[in-house]
A = this chain, B = another copy of it.
Amino acid sequence: MAALSLFLDVPLTREAHELLYAYMEDPSPDKVYLDCRGCRIDTGEAWVCPTVLRTLQLVAGDPTQDYEQLPVCGLPEFTRAATELAIGRESQAILENRVRILQPVGAPLKARGSGVRDAIKADATVDIPGLGMGFSSILAFWCRLYLAGGVQTVGVTGALRIGAEFLRRWHCQHTPGPARVYIAVHQLDFFQGIFHDAGFVDICPYLYWDLERLDVALEDFLEVLESSPEGSIILLHGPEGTGLTPRQWEEVAQVMERKHLFPFFDIPGQGLASGDLNKDAWALRHFVARGFELFCAQSFSRIFGLYDEPVGNLTVVARDNVALTRVRSQLEKVAAALWGSPTCFSARVIATVLNNPALRSKWKQSLRAMAEKIMLIRAKLKEKLRILGTPGSWEHITTQLGTHSFMGLLPVQVAYLMKHKHVYLHTDGQVSMCSINSHNMDYVAQSIHEAVVATMLGLSQHPEHCKGQ
């Protein structure tokens, strides 16, 4: 064999988590990392909801568990509960079977001790009125396997990836012109890799946060939508925390409807913005109610405190049950070649909590408490900056909602924070509010103050070139 490595020209990459690596390389004892993903308690450790923790132990010790492999599309109880959580139990789309596949009375699925998982038993509570008469036998068969329109995925990344892989293959072939994906500029790091690896080449960023007005850049967003090619895919990230009003969402929906744009929602923390699960899903439900066909990727890590067991759900809303069934069959094929079948443990825990009224109620209380804790962190930080007399308005810290927030810092201020204060955050000034706690709050506020004061003299307050960074 040759003495040289085959992998000689493979470059070293650190793309996956560049900011984290920069932080970890820093030997300073003062360093602070302001991009922690999950919800955290005051010690900086991961928040774990007590109800979820108790359920987790119950599920692990459940003697009736069979340890059988899940179907490729996951645990039906989980996907159904997740889908209902996102679009609402009373959604017209559910009543019209546009997110839930019909379940006929099926043939016996177990025979001669063959041990194949009985896909129906897990879904005994679904009350769907038998098989529609016009269905072909193939469709009838699929109906037996597909009990919800959702697909359980490995984390929200997995949900975005299988959605993207499907869309590249089918949606893009269907619409005229090249398929383009629009991703908010502050989410490019995370989403671009997923859509690029799924085969998209035409990925355009859109501006989301206006550094001049210290508010959401709605006008720019609407302009981008108006000028986008028909059939483009629009990533709508974290609608619960965008700060758009219902009326503004209606405007967005109107343009997207007229331009036939495809909405791909990403809901990372339903309930963590306002503390109300329904309120946080308003935008998604509005799109569903208007009759959009759409995808929605949900994350459960943050809201259930299960960071080590990432589980996601891709909800498909289609025009009718036939379209849904077909799309779901293709998504199954995509998932089969990505991970085979998903892991069960956290899906079982989440399904147990969501489907049990007592547990669900307790979990909702914890979630609301966490949302309120985040609001309190915002208020405290704003107050600290006010006391320090930091120049500028910091009202936007409390008008935004959810785990993440734009600090309204210019790139040069962010660079100052990293270089001189060992405080690590994204160039656009986005911060995870849960990264701030009583141990680092004073240091962070003081650092922001210093960065603003040190840089403001050398800069006009709103330089044109910073817009959109």
Contact = CB atoms under 8 A, between A and B. Distances in A.
A337 B154 contact: no
> How many subunits of this chain does the assembly comprise?
2
A171 B6 contact: yes
B16 A332 contact: yes
A336 B13 CA distance: 12
A397 interface: no
A292 B2 CA distance: 10
Interface string A317-347: 0111001011101101110111111111110
A407 B319 CA distance: 47
Interface string A101-113: 0000001110111
A373 to B, nearest CB: 15
Contacts of A156: 340
Interface in A118-169: 119, 137-139, 141-142, 144-145, 153-158, 161, 165
Nearest to A22: B141
Given A293-B5, A319-B7, A310 B340 contact: yes
A343 to B, nearest CB: 5
A309 interface: yes
A90 interface: no
Contacts of A8: 174, 323
Contacts of A20: 116
B45 A107 contact: no
13 contacts: A5-B319, A6-B175, A9-B170, A12-B138, A24-B144, A24-B145, A33-B114, A68-B308, A161-B339, A194-B337, A197-B338, A309-B344, A339-B339
